[in-house]
Structure 1
Amino acid sequence: MNTITFLSKKEQQRRFLLGYQLAFQSDAEEKDWDNIFALWQAAASSGHKRAQFYLGTCYDHGLGCTKDIAKAITWYRKAARQGHIVSQYNIGYSYINGDGVEQDYGKGVKWYLLAAQKGDTEAQREVGYCYFYGRGLEQDQVMAVYWYKKAARKNDPKAQYNLGLCYKEGEGVPISKRWARYYFQKAKEGGHKDAVRQLRRLL
């Protein structure tokens, strides 16, 4: 029978940082994922928030362990409940897309909102998308534009492209070719390929 050892805060941080260094700051061609996984697992099991997130990514991608989306979500959820923003986004994504859990737009947008309210750009864009199509909450194109703009201000090309469409079609905002062109141009500069086609159509 295995005994779980709860680590001190200092030891949790030490093991997390060592794993982080081996994963992201080492010059080694082959990462020692077995060791990295063990370090993060020890810290995560004792409650270290960031270790819980990174352990989730290990299960998500099969690094140092067998890929297991359900276990990834379990660890993302633990970190998300402690306020880890990217974990909150990942849980939202899982529910919206039915990835490793039963699809549930209501639960998905709830987690997206938690991350979006803390400033996560992708979550802000996705909340806008949920409002636009009424996924998990009442359809509201004005609110969709509100959230798209939050993400667009941080140069998210997908949000900028979506705003271009809103201004082009008058969805949530008055029709404005000038603003449509502005946001399509921003999206183009960010590498959004469809924005190029939309700019041609406006011309």
Structure 2
Amino acid sequence: MSWLDRLKGKGADEAQTPEDRPMPDRSTAPEGVEPALPPAEATTTASAAEPVPALEIPAPPPPWPPAEEEMRSALVAAQKGDYDTALSIWEPLAREGHGRAQNNIGACFIDGLGVEQNLELAREWLELSADSGDPVGQRNLARLCLKGLGGAQDTTRALELYRLASEAGDAPAQEMLSFLLFEGTSVPSDPAESKRWATAAAAQGIGSAMTRLGLMAHLDAVSAAPTAPDDSEAANWWRKAAEAGDPDGQALLGAAHHLGAGVPRDRVAAFAWLLRAKAGNSPLADRFFDAVRATLSPEEEAAAERRVSMAEEGPTPAP
């Protein structure tokens, strides 16, 4: 039976369990590239674009020295679009209990990369990866559980998996956990925990987490002084998010410059950021775009467009 037949057949049923070949715990998420899962729907200004399933190189500890080179070779093949070769490398490693290889097979079944799309098999392989302690596998399985893809919807299990991955240092999981706890729709709201995980994700450069921290700061400022909130902390987070490339952060920074909320009033800077947010498909940009544009002279509008053009070459559009 070929490796491909084994993947398409019983799938995870034939793989060894983590107890058969345990993987040591890892405290940080490895680096790498990821194939796509459907992004999380943007529901509010605190929306999180859920990062996609990962084809990532682990930082292999003993007793896996041979696996490092094999995983590296598989990743190179996948980056070239040669998923047939990548899967042939991951399959035996996955059956030996290698959590990241199990995750990568699951990711391929999600998107039909080198195999026919099969969400049920994807979920089986991701269950193995999660049980092996791989934080990326935990995060990707959480996504399937949250949406009811490849099996029953299970928000309790999803929240548990996002927590496990977050505690292991996986930044996208931290961001998604913060989003869920902030929204309070799929799981109970917990603002303090949401802020904790948003802060952790922001420290790892996740722009949407910075945007949410700005929104939290804004809500705190409004609660403290409803008629004259101090939005300086909020605007500072939105600037960080905007400079990190988050479209919603760019939209909110543009609005802040338009209103003079926490930053100097600057119509050109406001429109420049809104132009970037609109190009990034932020739904928030539409709320302010026409109103800000109506305040500009043709010369100011042209100046904002020049700032955006310059930003694409390096500088940011706001002073």
**TM-score normalised by length of structure 2:** 0.54
Distance in 2, matches of 1:148 and 1:92, equals 18
Given candidates 120, 125, 131, the residue that maps to 1:70 is 120
Structure (1 or 2) with the greater helix fraction: 1
* Structure 1 unmatched runs, 5+: none
The unaligned stretches of length 5 or more in structure 2 are 7-13, 22-61, 261-319
Q: Which residue of 2 aligns with 1:155?
A: 205
Letter in 1 for 2:76: F
Amino acid at match of 2:246: H
Which amino acid in 2 is paired with 1:189?
E
Displacement, 1:26?
A: 8.7
Aligned partner (choices 185, 195, 203) of residue 249 of structure 2: 195
Structure 1's 162 and 63: CA in aligned 2 closer, same or farther, altered over 3 A? Answer: same
Aligned positions of 1:44-59 closer than 5 A: 44-59=94-109
Q: 1:34 to 1:19 in 2, by over 3 A?
A: farther
Q: Could you say which structure has the greater relative contact order, defined with CA pairs below 8 angstroms and 6 or more residues apart?
A: 2
Counterpart amino acid of residue 167 in structure 1: A
Report % sequence identity.
25
Moved more, 56-65 or 145-154: 56-65
Look up the equivalent residue of 2:235 and give its one-letter code. Answer: R
| Paired position in structure 2 for 1:128 | 178
Higher mean Cα deviation, 132-141 or 59-68? 132-141
> Counterparts of 2:15 and 2:190 in 1: how far apart (Å)?
49
After superposition, give the CA deviation of every residue in 1:82-101 in whole Å (9 maximum; x if it has no partner).
11010000011112223323
1:181 to 227, 235, 241: 235
SS of the residue corresponding to residue 117 of structure 2 reads coil
Partner of 1:118: 168
SS in 2 for 1:170: helix
**How far apart, in 2, do the equivalents of 1:15 and 1:149 lie?**
34
Aligned to 2:76: 24
After the TM superposition, which of the residue ranges 90-99 and 148-157 deviates more from structure 2?
90-99
Larger of the two Rg values belongs to structure: 2
Q: CA deviation at 1:78?
A: 0.3
Pairwise CA distance, 1:48: 2.3
For the residues of structure 2 that align with 1:100 and 1:200, how far apart are their CA atoms? 41
What secondary structure is seen at the aligned counterpart in 2 of 1:66? coil
Cα shift readout 1:168-194 (whole Å, capped 9, x = no counterpart)? 1229x8664111011100110011122
Q: CA 1:68–1:17 in 2, change beyond 3 Å: closer, same or farther?
A: farther
Structure 2 residue identity aligned to 1:90: N
1:142 is aligned to: 192
* Aligned length, in residue pairs: 199
The alpha-carbon distance between structure 1 residues 196 and 19, as it changes in their structure 2 partners (threshold 3 A), is closer
